[in-house]
Structure 1
Amino acid sequence: MPAGSSSKRERQYEHIKGSAEDRGESSKRAKEIAARTVNKERVRSGESKTAGKASLRDPKSASQRGGQRSHSGAEGPTKDQLYEEAKKRNIHGRSSMTKKQLKNALDH
């Protein structure tokens, strides 16, 4: 958790991490899921100074969405999620790629 997080966010982080571990995620992946979810909630409620565009644009909070986009659905991750991953991996030409092209680029 980021320094200066509220006790509410600390509890939220622990709850999400525990739930992810109960679903069979590794400890490392559970921590990542919890941190990303809590940080997104912090952005949406104005508790953070910086924000990614996907965090601000999503009309539903993670708790409202209830895991609808947990990468296990029929369509998998959204185009924005694929784009952000491509950005992290520094994939050239990502800004003009379609969702299918981003998925293919990330699979290689």
Structure 2
Amino acid sequence: MNKSYEVNAKIFKALSDPSRLKILDMLSCGEKCACELLEYFDFTQPTLSHHMKVLMECGLVKSRKEGLWSYYCLDNSNSNRLVLFLMNILTDTDDCICKKKNKSNCEG
């Protein structure tokens, strides 16, 4: 399994901001307009746009335009991949990096 550490590190960096975590929590309830998201924060629309750009660049959020408004939703396939990645690195599995290394050191 390709664990893509670099890609996931970028996602975890995006998740290190409390406002972004709150945005993801809000989007877990379904698609939201930028104006709806802004109601829960004390920052400006440009700041929200920055947060959304970070979340979209790492693949956790998708957007669509409707008229003047932007609507955001979770990208469930990428979110699920992130959960699986985290479970895999925190669980003792057959493809654990340490087991692969130990097999090559101990065999033969």
Larger Rg: 2
**Structure that is richer in strand per residue:** 2
The alignment's TM-score, normalised by the length of structure 1, stands at 0.27
Larger RCO (CA within 8 A; separation ≥ 6): 2
The alignment's TM-score, normalised by the length of structure 2, stands at 0.27
